[in-house]
Structure 1
Amino acid sequence: MNYKYLPFAVLLFVILLLVHDRSTEAWGFWSHRQINRYAILSLPADMKPFFNKYAETIIERSVEPDTKRHSDSLEQFHHYIDIDRYGAYPFNDLPRNYDSAIVKFGKGRVDSSGIVPWRIADFTAKLTRAMKQRRTDEIIYYASYIGHYVADAHVPLHTTDNYDGQHTNQKGIHSRWESRIPEMFGDGFNLRPQDVEYVRDPLHHAFAVVLESYLKVDSVLAIDLEALASVPENRRFKSVERRGKTETQLSDDYYREYHTRLNGMVERRLNESIKGVASYWYTAWVDAGRPDLLK
């Protein structure tokens, strides 16, 4: 392809796709549904009539940002931020203002590195406007997508360039931590409604969540290696028939060991996601003037 003659917008699109293809899905559908279900239960009484009425729609649409990535190639960049591409913790080289970040690093680099904190702040403002205007369809849309993005920001591997262990020979760690562990052990998790809090600065808070997640990255990776090493080699893998083919996968023994050694980390991040989602919804509602959303 001759890139010289491409219009800038098309060229940027091509660059984004070439630089980063984040095909792994966040949390897994089971987790996203549970997060949004319990977030609805966390809301104050004055908000509940609307959210209870549309609960199943919001819960089901909370996984839509993941399915949308198959039809919208730019959607993937809304789910993460590889914040370690901007130096060392706490990454003060990265301006928290999006336009300032673009000026400093260029739009291609910023967007391809992921924009989840800015997406959260933007959609919170749009949810506030939709609530003020009592636009039911828009409230459902923005609430569902906020529910997804806020949850994603709580996932440690959504904050690092080594998002799937590809730089540390741990390929597949992304889905192991955020999908397989909840799916296998979620029935034993103590997921519950959380106390909501007003978020005074949605963007600052989103970055705080990202930094909190980032500080767990090293543990996620190190514990994975410890779990693998602790399982005897002859019990480390299993063969599975899938679509007429035999695949080799990590064994249930490994997953039990990894889950045990994580010591509740996944469960805690799920509950913190529940609190975060409900708090962003609550913040939008308060900023909208606490309207009766069913009128």
Structure 2
Amino acid sequence: MNATRRHLLCTAMALAGGMLLPAFAARPARAADSVSSAEGTQLRLIAGSLTGDVVHAGLEIALASGWKTYWRYPGDSGVPPRFNWSGSTNVADVRVGWPAPRRFPDGAGGFSIGYKDKVVLPLAVRLTDKAKPAQLDLALDFAVCQSLCVPADAHLTLALPGAGGEDPQLAAARASVPVETAFGAPQGPAILGLTHDTGPKPGRLIITARATPEAMLFLEGPDDSWALPLPEPIGREGDIQRFAAPLLGVPTDTPLPGARLRLTLVEAGRAIETEAALPQPDAKP
């Protein structure tokens, strides 16, 4: 399902919930407040330490029992969060980190990708002038789901760089972000092979990884117009796990060879992220 269809599906499901939708509209935070609440979720901006001209901050999303929210790529259903930092002052840019996600059945035979309970997204906030006060201003469009997927929005502000030292939650959040790992890395979890099997249409990707049997693999295309399915395990030999994903959700008339894919491998206690170019059909990368 492509990004547009996912958005329409989520909106339609929210409307089907009738009076549930207004209950999820986030209440804007006060000017000096960094917390915004909505039914099923509470959001908070956290200010951390300053290193050079970068403040290590975070966005905490706490979810009620049974609720979930989405990763940067939401899978077969849902919509990813959209961040608008344009109201910030003395902020040059903000880089969002993504802790390793989980996959959840979406009730329609597919899977969504995201978080339950609580997640802290690490933020690297680069200041324009570290000698001057700054304010982080976030307008966030996102979605939360229990039995229905419901669009929500929040507005949060936070003075930077903040007082005191590092918040321990931020250090833990940064540690949970997948580690960038080279294709074919000789040790630890790694993506070792990527082939394009033309087979029956639409063809499929075969991914070989050094991973535990419980490992999960997530696959993203070069941009939001791609909506690739979740790879599924198809065989194992020793510490080598093979996954397959049909080449569905690829934009029409897109040249496949050379397209940059991002692969995120998650196993207990650790996760990696690797970029690799899609090879020629049935050729080694």
What TM-score comes out, normalization by structure 1 length?
A: 0.24
Structure with the bigger percentage of strand: 2
What TM-score comes out, normalization by structure 2 length?
A: 0.25
The higher-RCO structure (CA 8 Å, 6+ apart) is 1
